[in-house]
Chain A
Amino acid sequence: MKPVETICVIDDDNIYGFWVKKLLVSKNFCKSLSIFENGLAGFNYFNELVVGEGVIPDLILLDINMPVMDGWEFLEEFSKIKNKFEKEIPIYVVSSSINPADIERAKGFEEVSGFITKPLTFDNLKQIKLFQD
């Protein structure tokens, strides 16, 4: 498995943030990682990428329940600008929810490639297509 260049994590939980970074980098899933503390911060980054220069992430790990802009709202906003990127960015919803309604709702978005239930571990990161070879 070759590490990807950049992974984008959108999650308001800073404990999760710190350790997910350690997991992804130390286990060689990626070379660099950017973390945004809510949907709006994440969206603003992508929105600026459309006009300006910057690294387009290879993968987005998205939480659902966040203040200011939650995961669902991010998905709605993101779908409006995704065509402006030269490559398709897979999005995985990473949530502590085991509510089937949330899983169904996530599947309803064509941008969403999968739903991972927290905690994020080495094993369940293997669900992600990029890391399967």
Chain B
Amino acid sequence: MKTIREPWNREGYYDIPNFWAWDLTSNTFSISDNVNAILSLPSQTINNLDTLKRHLFSLDTKWLDFNVVKELTKDENYFEQKIRLYNADGNFQFFQINGYVELRDEYDYAILLKGTFTHISYLIEHPEKLPAPPVHKTEFELIINGIEAGIWDWDLQYDTVWWSSKFYELLGYEAGEINTSFNAFFNTLLHQDDKAKVEQLIGEHLYQKKPYKTEIRLLCRSGEYKWFQTSGQAMWNKEGKPIKMAGSIIDITETVNYKSSLLKNEFLLNESSKLARIGAWEVDLKTQKVYWSESTKAIHEFPSNLETPSLAEAFLYYPEASRAMVAKAFDETIALGKAFDVSCEFLTYLQNKIWVRVIGSPLFDTQGIIIGVRGVIKNIDEEKQKELFLQDSLKIIHEQNKKLVNFAHIVSHNLRSHTGNLEMVSNFIEECDTEYEQKLLLDNVKQISKQLSETISQLNEVLVTQSQVQQPKVRICFDEMLTKVKSQIQSELVLSSARIKSNFTSCKSVYYIPAYLESILTNLLSNAIQFRKPEVCPEITLSSWIENNKIILQIEDNGVGIDLEKYKYKLFGMHHTFHKHTSGKGFGLFLIKNQLDLMGSKIEVESQENIGTTFKITF
């Protein structure tokens, strides 16, 4: 074998125009440089198998495949094949390859091939020199011209293409106006981005017999690309070699535009729902199937790879408190065709509590029967939290405002009543003739100034109370605090022979500001003693317990009681007194209400005249 391969490497061998040789043992390929000249390529651009394949139209590469060629030459010494090579301008040039087997191995496989190549584009591009185009029968012709599809017919052996007049028309040409070669179709008309796809699909159809149907863009006479659906069917000869392929093109520009605008809208919708945190849902009443959009799943924090849950499961995302409301709204939509719009708390797949707004409306079939419910779900947690925060702030502002008004009232009424008296009394200084009157006047001035300073110190106490809210909270034992308060009001207790009972076993202590608790206990106990029934020893019972996770302190007395129907709204106001012949100043309850409000605690009162009063504090 070596002796035969020797002349292979001889220099100048490849100068022979249109010569090629292929050593299949070493897979070495040589070709005359003339091929580059024909293709207007620089010398030596194509000089081996790789560089040749690079310029070969992909459908033809099989003819240069090692294994294909080996099989092809198994029983034949000679072969011929047409191939297409790209020239410098990117157009096909047709070549006829003729080859023969120069050497075979012991299994009769070719190991050295030699041959020639001939440039035959001229013949291909001048079809008049080739066999006439296919002749269709009249009925076929009518059909072909009548249908809204362009028909094409491609003779693979001669590489000629025929188009129906509709084909030309679809591209905006007169019949026969342009060159219909496969070269023109593939390299001029077909959109750059569709080339690879068409190449692959035609190859798969011709050699693997897979169906050929795809969507392509073709250049129209107007210079714009239109979308076509094309399909085709090849015909194979006895050896399985494709010899012919025919098919159609249908204008689908509108469909594609419609589809792409649909896709665009869907994209916009999806993106905006994501941003707005709105999701769509639908329930099919017949199948009980639930549909959730991606955003709906996102709101539920539901893994998008899981299957949408059933209707019953979907309801479980609403915590018990809101489930009944949503279920009722949903049932009413089914029963009465009523749309609903509810906002409620919601528990996501990841157990996060959020607020959602769910809107639903019935879905009717053509007979007007409700067949489903469709709607949206919106994550309104941020808005709701803001709203709740605002509500809280509003409540605080409202409370503060009430206090300010109360303060204005205190200044308007309580301070002014003293200064008014002072002014009135002083008007009489010159007119008091008797010693008695003069003494009385002086006494009154003293009394007024005492009342004035008392009111001022009370106002100060309110301000102090307000500032005490900054003090640290500590754990306070009710027992210890009661002992402390009892010692402070000991004289009152002894004078009135009051009996104080306490039961703090259920709840021994509270976490609170000591100054406040002290003030609360002192005021309530002195009130109970002050408003005792005449001739009856005051009996005061204190107890504490836990109710709804909150600490309760109750102070019960057997005093004169309060007519709550009349005084309910005045009870905790400043300088409102309700009893005759007492030294009530109408300040204690006002002060402790202030303190409790500052701490967010609640005070309730129950009372019956002549039986007693019960104050209940919820810390």
Q: Pick the contact of B424: A20, A38, A73 (CB < 8 A).
A: A20
A47 part of interface (Cβ distance < 8 Å): no
A16 part of interface (Cβ distance < 8 Å): yes
Q: Pick the contact of A97: B416, B419, B423, B579 (CB < 8 A).
A: B416
- The reply to whether B577 and A96 contact each other, CB–CB distance below 8 Å, is no
Known A20-B424, A68-B578, A121-B427; contact A96-B584, beta-carbon cutoff 8 A: no
Bound Cα distance from A20 to B444, whole angstroms: 13
Q: Which residues of B contact A18 (CB under 8 A)?
A: 440, 444
Q: Smallest CB-CB separation from B421: which chain A residue? A: A15
- The reply to whether B580 and A19 contact each other, CB–CB distance below 8 Å, is no
Q: Which residues of B contact A26 (CB under 8 A)?
A: 431
Known A13-B421, A15-B421, A65-B575; contact A99-B427, beta-carbon cutoff 8 A: no
A49 part of interface (Cβ distance < 8 Å): no
Q: Which of A15, A16, A23 counts the most B-chain CB atoms under 10 A from its CB?
A: A15
- The reply to whether A96 and B579 contact each other, CB–CB distance below 8 Å, is no
Q: Which residues of B contact A73 (CB under 8 A)?
A: 566
Known A65-B575, A97-B413, A97-B416; contact A19-B584, beta-carbon cutoff 8 A: no
Q: Which residues of A contact B513 (CB under 8 A)?
A: none
How would residues 105 to 133 of chain A score, 1 for a CB under 8 Å from any chain B CB and 0 otherwise?
A: 00000000000011111100000000000
Q: Pick the contact of B413: A19, A23, A96 (CB < 8 A).
A: A96
Q: Smallest CB-CB separation from A37: which chain B residue? A: B580
Q: Which residues of B contact A121 (CB under 8 A)?
A: 423-424, 427
Q: Smallest CB-CB separation from B432: which chain A residue? A: A22
B425 part of interface (Cβ distance < 8 Å): yes
A3 part of interface (Cβ distance < 8 Å): no
Known A22-B428, A26-B431; contact A119-B421, beta-carbon cutoff 8 A: yes
Q: Which residues of B contact A13 (CB under 8 A)?
A: 417, 421
Give chain B interface residues in 61-113, CB to chain A under 8 Å: none
B412 part of interface (Cβ distance < 8 Å): yes
Q: Pick the contact of A67: B412, B413, B416, B579 (CB < 8 A).
A: B579
Total residues of chain B contacting the partner, CB 8 A: 29
Known A15-B444, A22-B428; contact A96-B580, beta-carbon cutoff 8 A: no
How would residues 67 to 90 of chain A score, 1 for a CB under 8 Å from any chain B CB and 0 otherwise?
A: 110000100000000000000000
Bound Cα distance from A15 to B418, whole angstroms: 10
- The reply to whether A19 and B424 contact each other, CB–CB distance below 8 Å, is yes
CB distance from B365 to the nearest CB of A (A): 63
- The reply to whether A95 and B413 contact each other, CB–CB distance below 8 Å, is yes
Q: Which residues of B contact A16 (CB under 8 A)?
A: 420-421, 424
Bound Cα distance from A119 to B412, whole angstroms: 13
Known A23-B424, A120-B424; contact A96-B408, beta-carbon cutoff 8 A: no
Known A13-B417, A65-B413, A67-B579; contact A99-B408, beta-carbon cutoff 8 A: yes
Q: Which residues of A contact B427 (CB under 8 A)?
A: 23, 119, 121-122
Give chain B interface residues in 145-202, CB to chain A under 8 Å: none
Q: Which residues of B contact A99 (CB under 8 A)?
A: 408-409, 412-413
Q: Pick the contact of A15: B409, B416, B448, B576 (CB < 8 A).
A: B448
B497 part of interface (Cβ distance < 8 Å): no
Q: Pick the contact of B420: A67, A68, A96, A122 (CB < 8 A).
A: A96
Bound Cα distance from A97 to B437, whole angstroms: 28
B447 part of interface (Cβ distance < 8 Å): yes
Q: Which residues of A contact B413 (CB under 8 A)?
A: 65, 95-97, 99
- The reply to whether A96 and B424 contact each other, CB–CB distance below 8 Å, is no
Give chain B interface residues in 567-616, CB to chain A under 8 Å: 575-580, 584
Q: Smallest CB-CB separation from A63: which chain B residue? A: B417
Q: Which residues of B contact A119 (CB under 8 A)?
A: 419-421, 423-424, 427
Q: Which residues of B contact A122 (CB under 8 A)?
A: 427
Q: Pick the contact of B444: A19, A95, A118 (CB < 8 A).
A: A19
CB distance from A33 to the nearest CB of B (A): 15
Bound Cα distance from A114 to B409, whole angstroms: 20
Bound Cα distance from A121 to B414, whole angstroms: 19
How would residues 90 to 103 of chain A score, 1 for a CB under 8 Å from any chain B CB and 0 otherwise?
A: 00000111110000
CB distance from B422 to the nearest CB of A (A): 8
Q: Which residues of A contact B440 (CB under 8 A)?
A: 18
Known: A16-B420, A19-B428. 8 other contacts (CB 8 A): A15-B447, A19-B444, A26-B431, A67-B584, A68-B578, A97-B409, A97-B412, A99-B409
Q: Which 7 A-B pairs have the closest CB atoms?
A: A118-B420, A96-B416, A119-B420, A96-B417, A119-B424, A67-B577, A119-B423
- A interface residues (Cβ-Cβ under 8 A, vs B): 13, 15-16, 18-20, 22-23, 26, 38, 65, 67-68, 73, 95-99, 117-122
